[in-house]
């Protein structure tokens, strides 16, 4: 259990340091359970390949676009990532919070 916990913590930290680390993202995307399983990861991977971006950047960009609102910013109704809005939003908000906490620790 300790080894798994270390791996998860390292993966979160790795992703914060290097947002292009798709392997770290794959380890933590659904930890804790966010309803983001294999299908969500596959949809993200395909979108990343299509847009030539990292998987994390695709997820972040998608959620930020949703948060902006408005029809001009709205993703296509046929976008496969729409099925994962709630889980992706939870994931991105969690990463944002971790980043904020680590920023406070390093800049007291």
The string of DSSP codes covering 26-45 is HHHTTSS--S--HHHHHHHH
Q: Give the number of other Cβ atoms within 10 Å of residue 104's Cβ.
A: 9
Instruction: Using pLDDT thresholds of 50, 70 and 90, give the confidence band for residue 108.
Output: low
Give residue for tokens 């933590």.
28
| Amino acid 107: pLDDT | 65
> What single string gives the DSSP state of each residue in 48-59?
HHHHTS-HHHHH
Q: What is the per-residue pLDDT across 27-86, written as a single tens digit (0 to 9) for each?
A: 999 999 999 999 999 999 999 999 999 999 999 999 998 888 767 777 788 899 999 999
Domains of the chain: 2-106 (1.10.486.10)
| pTM, full prediction | 0.87
Instruction: Tell me how far apart the alpha carbons of residues 46 and 6 are, in angstroms, rounded to a whole number.
Output: 29
Q: What is the average per-residue pLDDT within 15-30? A: 94
């Amino acid at each position: 259990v300790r080894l798994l916990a270390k791996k998860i913590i390292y993966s979160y930290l790795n992703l914060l340091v290097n947002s292009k680390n798709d392997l770290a993202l794959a380890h933590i995307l659904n930890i804790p359970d966010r309803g983001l399983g294999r299908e969500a990861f596959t949809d993200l991977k395909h979108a990343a390949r299509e847009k030539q971006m990292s998987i994390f950047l695709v997820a972040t960009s998608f959620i930020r676009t949703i948060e902006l609102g408005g029809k001009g910013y709205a993703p296509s109704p046929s976008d496969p990532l729409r099925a994962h809005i709630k889980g992706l939003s939870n994931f991105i908000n969690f990463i944002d919070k971790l980043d904020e906490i680590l920023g406070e620790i390093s800049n007291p």
